[in-house]
Amino acid sequence: MSTQPYRTALVTGASSGIGAAIVGRLQQAGITVHAVARDKDRLARLAEDTGCVPHALSVADHAAIAALAEEIEIDILVNNAGQSRTGNITNTTPDDIDALIDVNLRAVLHLTNLIVPGMVRRDRGHVVNISSIAGHYAFAGGNTVYHATKAGVHSLSQQLRCDLYGSHIRVTEISPARVETEVFGRLIGDMAEAKRRFFDEYDSLLPADIADSVAFAVLAPQRMNVSFMEVLPTMQVVGGLNFAKKTPGAA
């Protein structure tokens, strides 16, 4: 018989990839999952496959998210929804900056602000933030705004533990490296090319690996908080140092 106290979860970015895998994994654990994403058709298929409760809305729609938070009691909040862009700060657009901040950081803050007070009142809950190694490491080719938003999620996770000190509410940050999802295809506008370039010759993580990581943290004994988990493919490393050569004729 399970001794874990959680009955309900809310997972954002749930229609595909990591989010869909998390929904399925938590449903398997006997938790009723409210799946949030914009794609109504994909959510309907996910609900049919897993038994989750679908909510077709954008995490950037604060009014809709606030209304949902009023309707349901949530034990586990999984902040998974995210976007990225190509390029860096020298060639990004104001719209890209706003979109990444709205989805990757602002929505996470709003959802946390809406859901956590109920957890505090019940003294029961778990916040799981899916960040990225981009929030901890700088590397060439990464989108500057994406890195900044994920660093914000990391800082939020750390501070939230301080805010909840003395309660039985746990906070977990899971920071994946390369995972085989559609995000790369969306970035370059060609799913087949993304598969060839990023996955065919690499043994990347799969969405199920991150879902299992979430389940490990959530289903751990209540005395145990998995505060931070960095999940990398075995053949991928982080860090590194680049040194540009002098420009000819430079002083």
Catalytic residues: 146
Q: With contact defined as beta carbons under 8 Å apart, do 150 and 129 qualify?
A: no
Q: Which amino acid is at 34?
A: H
Three-state helix/strand/coil letters over the chain = CCCCCCCEEEEECCCCHHHHHHHHHHHHCCCEEEEEECCHHHHHHHHHHHCCEEEECCCCCHHHHHHHHHHCCCCEEEECCCCCCCCCCCCCCHHHHHHHHHHHHHHHHHHHHHHHHHHHHHCCEEEEEECCHHHCCCCCCCCHHHHHHHHHHHHHHHHHHHHCCCCCEEEEEEEECCECCCHHHHHHCCHHHHHHHHHCCCCCECHHHHHHHHHHHHCCCCCCCCCEEEECCCCCCCCCCCCCCCCCCCC
Sign for the pseudo-dihedral over CA of 75, 78, 81, 82: positive
What lies within 8 Å, CB to CB, of 155 at 6+ separation is none
| Residues paired with residue 228 on neighbouring β-strands, in sequence order | 173
